[in-house]
Structure 1
Amino acid sequence: MNKRFLKHTLSLLNVDWVKLDSRWNYKNVISPYHRIYYIDEGEGKLFDHAKTLKLEAGYLYIIPSYTLCNLICESYLSQYFVQFFEESADGTSLFLASRLISRVKASEIDVLNFKRLVEINPGRGINRSDNPLVYEKNIYYKEYQELNNQQKFDLFLETQGILLQLLSRFAVPELLSAREAVEVPITILDTMRFILVNLHLPLTVKRLAERVHLNPEYFSRLFGKHTGTRPLTFINEKRIERAVHIMATSQSSLSEIAALTGFEGLSHFTRTFKKITSLPPGIYRKQLNHT
């Protein structure tokens, strides 16, 4: 497990300390990166499809990537926050088995880590807007990545270390145990990588099985055993993740997004999107535009 974990690289986007008011009220937020909050004053609410968490002083909160959630502050909220991408060789996430919001009681070290992270990464706040629809753009992601590349090596290593420490506060066994049971065969890892870079192409179980010289039925069972999901389900989930990212960072039409993510047509895309997110893509986009 430890060697596999260390294959995950964390890429900083934003970190800052901010004071928020009732304008911090955004619905149906789905981001392609992790968020961690430390609340030092005030209160708010954070909820996904499964539960509601009260944002209160003295606690850390995490929103894993691609988790649909709502952010609410009715009056006043003061928080440290950090947003970062998680990258891995096989395209998987440490929170693949549980994309749910959660919280833990903050320690003194957590607070010091957040303050240090802000200190060594000046100017990394969200200066354009608090609205994810405004600041979640590919051009800004590239801008932040360039800042990472320009960072002094000692500060880059320290940033990585602090992010790992903060992330470790949520790396409890019930979230990660499913990933450490057995080693994933190279054929499955290779297939997952192939899927992630070819989502725009027609992908079938037969074609995927032929790539690794396996019987389709056996391949499907093997894939399910080591990923917890069947190949077609995995493909559809990754296509919707990609669709959400395109929707959040571009003005592409739903038909264009369907084509870019490998769906047979708009109706197929709409059915799959609603099945996975519980919202039709059109309604999801309208709600985003009205937040």
Structure 2
Amino acid sequence: MQPVRKPFHLEPNFPFELVYKGVRHVEDEWPDHLHDLYEVVYIHEGRGTFFIDHALYDKRPGDLFLIPGNTVHRAFPSTDEPVVSTALFFSPALVQAVSLNDGFEPLRCFEVARQTKQYKIALPEPVRTRIEAAIHAMGNEITEQGSGYRRALWLQLEQLLLELDRHPFMQEAASSAIGIGPHWIQAALRDINSDPIRCGGLAELAIKACVSASHFSRVFKQLTGMNVTDYVNAKRLVRAKELLLSTDDTIETIALLCGFQGMRHFYDVFKKLTGVTPKMYRRQQQAK
């Protein structure tokens, strides 16, 4: 059975959703599914099992799970001890908009999880306390919706991702990755993440890194699991989807603004990564 794509109804200018301390029952859960959004799941109470990317993980209080975009997953709560969990969903663009060049990459924890295929994170007690505090603060902001509540949600999300980025497991995995992919790959990833439209393709990135294109391509795929073109296109597609929903620009204009080489190229990439054409995506989302 093919996984289904879970729909979301998010505002284009704030692509974020929080399900705070939801009680999960077997009959409520989706079958095998995926979605474009990145997801963080924290277990407060209960027991169960998580199926993520062909592996099963036990769920226990205090467990945290990282689910990168377009990763197949499914939850199996216990019938005797239903899971109480908080789930955060957000678009990568929400946390990639600002870079202070201080070494913090908001999505690095997800990239490490995908690379190592380790989606469950064991939290030391001090980190767990801080993450629970951030989640609790988010729950209050969603409930009260006072002035600046979206800004507060964004700040708490950044704080949570910063805590995870500083986690010893992430630091060790990053160090291991650097052993495979040296500093010039890390610099290239930062360039792509900060500006996927003007970062250039394989040739330009390799020249900037002062290595051959073939060597750059080989090391890049070892680190990310993707070739350079697919990785850059995936990042560009995030921006294209935002413009499709937040503007009335023509699809051709959006394709050019997002760095695609003509309409055919844009349509082919868009359908390959989302399963629908840009026109159909815009129509489906506007009809919700």
Give the TM-score band, short-chain normalised. Answer: 0.5 to 0.7
CA deviations 1:147-184 (Å, max 9, x no partner) are 268x8xxxx7xx84895169727538457511256751
Shift of 1:242: 3.6
The counterpart of 1:116, out of the listed 128, 133, 146, is: 133
Shift of 1:222: 5.1
Would you say 1:19 and 2:10 are equivalent positions?
no
Shift of 1:281: 3.5
The counterpart of 2:276, out of the listed 267, 276, 281, is: 281
Q: Which protein has greater RCO, CA pairs closer than 8 Å, 6+ apart? A: 1
* Counterparts in 2 of 1:127 and 1:60: CA distance versus 1, 3 Å: farther
Equivalents in 1 of 2:187, 2:130: separation in Å?
Answer: 37
- In the other structure, the counterpart of 1:220 is 213
- Match of 1:147, SS? helix
What amino acid is the match of 1:56?
K
Contact 1:30 1:69 in 2 (8 A): no
Contact 1:59 1:103 in 2 (8 A): no
Q: What TM-score does the superposition give when structure 2 sets the normalisation length? A: 0.56
- In the other structure, the counterpart of 1:147 is 152
Shift of 1:60: 1.9
- In the other structure, the counterpart of 1:243 is 237
CA deviations 1:169-205 (Å, max 9, x no partner) are 75384575112567514xx666555544553459444
Would you say 1:262 and 2:269 are equivalent positions?
no
Shift of 1:243: 1.4
* Counterparts in 2 of 1:23 and 1:202: CA distance versus 1, 3 Å: same
> Relative to total residues, which structure has the larger helix share, 1 or 2?
2
Would you say 1:66 and 2:59 are equivalent positions?
no
- In the other structure, the counterpart of 1:77 is 83
The counterpart of 1:51, out of the listed 33, 50, 54, is: 54
Shift of 1:24: 5.0
What amino acid is the match of 2:66?
I
Shift of 1:29: 1.2
Q: What TM-score does the superposition give when structure 1 sets the normalisation length? A: 0.56
Structure 1 gap segments, 5+ residues each: 1-11, 129-141
Contact 2:164 2:170 in 1 (8 A): no
Contact 1:200 1:262 in 2 (8 A): yes
Number of residue pairs the alignment of both structures matches: 247
Contact 1:34 1:63 in 2 (8 A): yes
Q: CA RMSD in A?
A: 5.2
Equivalents in 1 of 2:42, 2:239: separation in Å?
Answer: 22
Contact 2:270 2:277 in 1 (8 A): no
Shift of 1:79: 0.7
Contact 1:64 1:95 in 2 (8 A): yes
CA deviations 1:197-240 (Å, max 9, x no partner) are 55345944444556x495xxx4424534664469x932431321
> 1:98-113 residue pairs with structure 2 within 5 A?
98-99=113-114, 100=117, 102-104=119-121, 112-113=129-130
Contact 2:41 2:66 in 1 (8 A): yes
Structure 2 gap segments, 5+ residues each: 1-15
Equivalents in 1 of 2:239, 2:56: separation in Å?
Answer: 25
Contact 1:39 1:80 in 2 (8 A): yes
Equivalents in 2 of 1:161, 1:267: separation in Å?
Answer: 40
Equivalents in 1 of 2:131, 2:191: separation in Å?
Answer: 37
Equivalents in 2 of 1:180, 1:238: separation in Å?
Answer: 23
Contact 2:66 2:120 in 1 (8 A): no
Shift of 1:250: 5.0
Percentage identity across paired residues of the two chains: 13
- In the other structure, the counterpart of 1:29 is 35
* Counterparts in 2 of 1:15 and 1:262: CA distance versus 1, 3 Å: same
Equivalents in 2 of 1:213, 1:117: separation in Å?
Answer: 38
